[in-house]
Each structure stands twice: as C-alpha cells, then as structure tokens.
Amino acid sequence: MGKTMNPWDRPAPEREGLPSAWSLFPEELAALGCPGSALETFRRLHRPWTWKDQAPVLGPVILPWLEGVADLRLPRIVERQPSSDGSTKLALELGDGKRIEAVHMPRKVRNPRVTYCLSSQVGCAMGCTFCATGSMSILRNLQPGEILGQVLTLMADLGPNRGHELTLVFMGMGEPLHNLDHLHRAIRLLCHPAGLGLGKGRITVSTAGLVSGIEKLAAMNPRPNLALSLNATTDEARSRTMPLNRVWNLARLRQALDVWGLRRGEKFTFEYVLIAGENDTEADAERLSAWLGDLRRGHNVNVIPMNEHDASPFRQPDENRVQQFSDWLKVCGCFVTVRRSRGRDVQGACGQLVKGK
C-alpha cells in the first residue's frame, strides 16, 4: 500500500523555484517525466476523497519523484472560527507565512451542498471604503496552486466529500480579475474531469468593476458566472466609495456587460451593499433600475445590508430601510434578493475578511 505524504515535511529551501504540484495539468506532469500514468497521478492529487490522513496516496515511486520536481505544500488551516449560523471562517497560512481567509458555508437544502467563499489575493488594491480587505492594500497575488489549494484543504478538513456537492464563490480577499491569469488557470484545473470536475456554472467570480478583466474573462473558456459589486448609482457616489469607478465609470461598466454576450443559461448577479445614508434612497433604487435596463428581469440583484467593521465609518441600515429599498426595486421591475450574510458574528461576512502576515 502506498504511503501518504505530509506536504509540509520538506525543508523550505528545497521548495524554492519549483512549480506547485497542484497547478500542473496531466500533460505537464508527463512532460516533467512522471513515472507511470500522469493522468492517474493528477487524479490522486486532485480528489481529496481518495486521500488518507488529509494527504494524497501516491506510492513509493510517484511520491519521491514528485517531491523532486514540484512544491507539494497546500495552504494550511491555522485558525478557525465557527459561526452560530453553521458557517466557519478559516485563516489559511501560505508557504511564505502570509495568511488569507476563506469561509465554509453548508447550505440546508433538500440536496445539501456547501459553498466556499475563496480569496484570490493577499489583500486588495481596489480600496473600497466599506470593505475591510481594502484597508490592507495589496500584498501579493495568489498563485494558481494556492487558489486551488484552498479548495482541496477545505474539502479534506471540512467536506463535502465530492465535487458535485460544492459551489465556489470568489468573493473573499482580493479583486479576482486583478489576478485573472492565475485565477483562470485554477478554474481550468477545478473543472478538469480527472480532478474535481466542477461545472463552470458552479463557480462565480465577483468583481468591483475591473472592465479590462471583465472583457478578458468574457472570451475565456471555461467561463464562470459573473457577479458585479455595484453599490452606488451615480459616478460621484461610486467614486467616493469605490475608487475604481474613477477609471471605469458606470457607463463604461454597463457597456462591458452589453458586450459580454450572455449564453444560454447564463445570468449576471448584481451585488448592492446597502449603506445607511449613502446609497439607500428611493432615487437610488430608481437609478439602479434604469442602469440595469433590460437586465432588470432574469438577473438577480442581491441587496446586502452592510456588514460593519472597525476599518470603515459606514453603518448598516435598519431592517425597515432594507425592506423598503428592496420593495422600491421590485416596483421598478427588478428581481431582488436580500442576502443575509453568513458568519457576521465571527467577522466572516461579505466585506469583513482581513488577514495578512
């Protein structure tokens, strides 16, 4: 029986300059000289339900070969904060000691599934004034193996046991489209049929409105779902809370959606963080509806009451205003959901994730 490996056992200097084992496709493993079947090696690496003691079983031939050509480290869980709502916020340490956060969110539905909220960067360069991650600034991009590694680490530790029970949302730390090349390589690996085999419709990428990234992602395959964090209805207000709007304003952002080219079954998600006294008036609801235009129907507007944190002066609206704003949108013909963020009691909700060194 093949022995298991501990990806953290190798001395750090030996790993420098090696590609991540978790970022290699079967053909790349083969090109590195994989003894035996590269496809089978890929399968054993990327299917946590076949692991033993939270590590792949690779055997006495593949393991030492792989240790010599690739970095076997995965992000490791160093903190966990269970929420009263059943979700868990996790701090994961990367190989260089930097930390990111992810959230594990089981969903109580007829066919139970689990949603992971994942990070794409250590910190974020967007500087949105209502978001705790933005207060960190950007430390670095995550590599493809680190992005994928979050998924494998969470699956091995907390479940679920199969890829078809999993939904991924890149709404954690970072602007995903600011790290698009690394992110998309990770998505291709996640969708590989010999690995987790996720369908592209099970992956959502959220952006603050990085138009260049939206236009590039539109032409990529596989193409995940797109969520847009909008959060204001005038350029003045949006530029005040989301500095990115000074580069790509609301009109340019709407143009990018027009040229996306929606395919059969695809829908946009529009995220609107509702902030007391900032973007919560009836006029805001009417302007939002007008901006959406023909996207009002069939595409969901997620109204998200702001999750407060110490890095922002803004406050969440009261429940009456949340309901009133949603009703105004519905009167305008919008399809609306009020999203009750999970993990608020452990600072694991939307806009609250912040880690670093």
Catalytic residues, by residue number, are 101, 350
Structural contact between residues 317 and 276, judged by C-beta atoms closer than 8 angstroms: yes
Please state, as a whole number, how many other Cβ atoms lie within 10 Å of the Cβ of residue 345. 14
Helix (H) or strand (E) holding 186: helix 180-191
The residues near 224 (Cβ < 8 Å, ≥ 6 apart) are: 187, 200, 201, 203, 204, 205, 217
User: Which of 170, 171, 160 is CA-nearest to residue 107?
Assistant: 160
252: left (phi over 0), alpha (psi -120 to 50) or beta: alpha
**64 CA to centre of own chain:** 33
User: Which of 142, 138, 166 is CA-nearest to residue 152?
Assistant: 166
